[in-house]
Amino acid sequence: MPELPDITVYLEALQHRVLGRTLERIRLADVFVLRTAVPPIDSLEGRRVSAARRLGKRIALGFTGDRWLVIHLMIAGRLQWTEAPAAGPGPARGKLPGRNVLATFLFENGALTLTEAGTKRRASLHVVDGEAGLRAHEPGGIDVFAGSLAEFSAALTRRNHTLKRALTDPHLFSGIGNAYSDEILHAARLSPIALTQKLAPAERARLLDATRDVLRTWTERLRREAGDAFPQKVTAFRPEMAVHGKYGQPCPVCGTAVQRIVYAENEVNYCPRCQTAGKVLADRSLSRLLKTDWPRTIEDLEAGR
């Protein structure tokens, strides 16, 4: 699932391309991607894009008249941009990318396409009015860059969850998911199954520093990678990552083989030497803890269940 660094770079690319532009036409290739009926999605046609913001892991495009399009990419949703030809017919009349397309938004200068790989259709579009409509799609997690250590600690210890669950809870922290939580916990040298209410003050401070550093570093890295182009390689698995997706590979800090815990749709990657005092966390011995503390599906996680 695209997380804060990916969504930030997506937003910056969109601001450069569609801010101030008029949405000419919308093509829905899969009607089930649209989860609202009122206001109708075609009411966005003819309106100018006036704002773009992040709501957790969602992208919200504001249009004149205080109408908003909320895009939730979920796990496999991605955005593509096709530039309009310098001369000749525009993208509304030209051939558009067709593979896995859910919806296409046509502007005079190009086409924004929402795609989703695989057979599970989880990506979604919502059309809402005003700030009240947006609030229904704002999970409420704090911005780790704007909040103080006290606010971070309060959110972290609101419930006695594992660190992995707390960091990925969108109602606690904004924009952090499975991939970057692994990287954050590795950078903080903390066990993914440590309980939040048992952390020492120094550990909470170290976790906040690691959270900010990892998210800031990866945002800058993705910006450099994209350059002036629209982001293409939006993935949760990157060779530069320390532990996420690196099961069996050496930890870049100590060389110990990275371990993982897999449960339902969730996965934890960690270094046993750097994070768990040399202890390998067995899936079977953690089954009771995972059943009570981890959501079974991505939808459960988003809903805070």
Task: Give pLDDT tens digits for 211-252.
Answer: 999 999 999 999 999 999 999 989 989 999 999 999 999 999
Q: Where are the domains of the chain?
A: 4-135, 149-303
Cα–Cα distance list, 207 to 161, 203, 236 (Å)? 15, 6, 21
149-303 matches 4-135 in CATH topology: no
Query: 85 exposed, middle or buried (CB, 10 Å; 0-12, 13-18, 19+)?
Result: exposed
Answer yes or no: are the C-beta atoms of 116 and 78 closer than 8 Å: yes
pLDDT of residue 99: 72
- Whole-number Å distance between alpha carbons of 34 and 28: 8
pLDDT of residue 249: 96
pLDDT of residue 290: 55
| Stretch among 64-78, 105-119, 194-208, 276-290 having the lowest mean pLDDT | 276-290
Identify the CATH assignment for 4-135 out of 3.40.710.10, 3.20.190.10, 3.40.50.300, 1.10.3720.10. Answer: 3.20.190.10
pLDDT of residue 281: 82
| 287: confidence class by pLDDT, cuts 50, 70, 90 | very low
pLDDT tens per residue across span 188-216: 999 999 999 999 999 999 999 999 999 99
149-303: CATH number:
1.10.8.50
| 87: confidence class by pLDDT, cuts 50, 70, 90 | very low
pLDDT tens per residue across span 128-164: 999 999 999 999 999 999 989 999 999 999 999 999 9
3-state helix/strand/coil string of the chain: CCCHHHHHHHHHHHHHHHCCCEEEEEEECCHHHECCCCCCHHHHCCCEEEEEEEECCEEEEEECCCEEEEEECCCCEEEEEEECCCCCCCCCCCCCCCCCEEEEEEECCEEEEEEECCCCCCCEEEEEEHHHHHHCCCCCCECCCCCCHHHHHHHHCCCCCEHHHHHCCCCCECCCCHHHHHHHHHHHCCCCCCEHHHCCHHHHHHHHHHHHHHHHHHHHHHHHHHCCCCCCCCCCCCCCCCCCCCCCCECCCCCCECEEEEECCEEEEECHHHHCCCCCCCCHHHHHHHHHHCCCCHHHHHHCC
Residue 144 CA neighbour count, 13 Å, CB half: 29
pLDDT tens per residue across span 103-126: 999 999 999 999 999 878 899 999
pLDDT of residue 268: 92
Higher pLDDT among residues 206 and 295, named by residue: 206
pLDDT at 82 over 60: yes
Which whole number is the average pLDDT over 23-29? Answer: 96
The pTM score is 0.89
